[in-house]
């Protein structure tokens, strides 16, 4: 196991799914947002589907989704270091037969995955528009993961729509301040918004995360706002729903 780790890397356990994830402080480690998205996404349980995770990072979303489906899961990640970490995590969890990572830009995804062939697409994209400050970030791994330097909302929705079969599902995690832009861009690319869930750090605080489901060529009717998800109690402990995502449900 040790030979799969490089100098500045550590092994984190995702107890709820019995997974080992390679992480490094010098590149963008996965956050709770990735866990929330993987939990929110509904994937076919059978082995006949195809699931694609765009902006895959170190592969945590794809690894979690593999525990919810028997279908192949393919991650697309631009940064070579992160893609390499994802590949090693896949091997460490003995999931090579189901999960894979392609190193490349999401705009080139049709080179590897035919259009209109995917059942579910997930994406935890860069949240922030590119600025002069973000391009000067001394850690380019973090800058690329956080800011729209190499992709943007328009491309994410265009690529997602291109990959999905008719009635295929898309799942995104993002920030509330871009909600209107997200909904407009989804609809412009034939992705009908169907479910929205707001995530709040605590009771009484403003939402800081949104989870959205869309269906390709779906009807405009039937949009639902789900009950809120609250992460912490007043003692900064995870509330039961989030705790179950991280550590599994407590047995009765």
Distance CA 165, CA 190 (A): 11
Q: What is the DSSP string of 82-145?
A: HHHHHHHHHHHTT-TTTEEEEES-GGGGGGTS-TT-EEEEEE----B---HHHHT-S-HHHHHH
CA-to-CA dists, residue 78 to 5, 53, 125, 131, 240, angstroms: 20, 12, 12, 20, 35
Please report, in tens digits, the pLDDT of each residue of the chain (252 residues total): 446 788 789 889 999 999 999 988 877 677 899 999 999 999 999 999 999 999 999 999 999 999 999 999 999 999 899 999 999 999 999 999 999 999 999 999 999 999 999 999 999 987 656 555 545 555 554 444 454 555 689 999 999 999 999 999 999 999 999 999 999 999 999 999 999 999 999 999 999 999 999 999 999 999 999 999 999 999 999 999 999 999 997 644
Cα-Cα-Cα-Cα dihedral sign, residues 9, 208, 132, 53: positive
Cα-Cα-Cα-Cα dihedral sign, residues 109, 115, 116, 118: negative
Distance CA 244, CA 174 (A): 21
Q: How many helices (H) and strands (E) does the chain have?
A: 8, 11
Residue pair 235/202 in contact by the 8 Å Cβ criterion: no
Which residues partner with 225 through β-bridges? 196
Q: Which residue has the tokens 């639902």?
A: 224
- pTM for this entry: 0.90
Residue pair 58/82 in contact by the 8 Å Cβ criterion: yes
Domains of the chain: residue spans and CATH: 2-247 (3.40.50.150)
């Amino acid at each position: 196991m040790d030979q799969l780790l490089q100098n500045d890397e550590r092994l984190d356990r995702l107890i709820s799914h019995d997974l080992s994830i390679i992480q490094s402080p010098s590149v963008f480690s996965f956050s709770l947002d990735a866990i929330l998205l993987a939990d929110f996404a509904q994937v076919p349980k059978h082995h006949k589907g195809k699931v694609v995770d765009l902006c895959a990072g170190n592969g945590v979303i794809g690894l979690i989704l593999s525990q919810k489906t028997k279908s192949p899961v393919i991650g697309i990640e631009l940064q070579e270091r992160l893609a390499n970490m994802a590949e090693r995590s896949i091997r460490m969890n003995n999931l090579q037969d189901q999960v894979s990572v392609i190193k490349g830009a999401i705009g080139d995804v049709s080179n590897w995955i035919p259009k209109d062939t995917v059942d579910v697409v997930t994406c935890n994209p860069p949240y922030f528009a590119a600025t002069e400050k973000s391009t000067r970030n001394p850690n380019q791994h973090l800058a690329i993961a956080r800011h729209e330097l190499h992709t943007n909302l328009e491309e994410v929705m265009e690529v997602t729509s291109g990959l999905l079969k008719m009635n295929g599902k898309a799942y995104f995690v993002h920030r509330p301040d871009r909600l209107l832009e997200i909904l407009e861009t989804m609809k412009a690319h034939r992705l009908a918004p169907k479910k929205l869930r707001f995530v709040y750090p605590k009771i009484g605080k403003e939402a800081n995360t949104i989870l959205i489901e869309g269906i390709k060529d779906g009807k405009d009717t039937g949009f639902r706002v789900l009950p809120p998800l609250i992460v912490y109690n007043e003692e900064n402990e995870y509330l039961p729903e989030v705790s179950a995502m991280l550590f599994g449900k407590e047995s009765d």
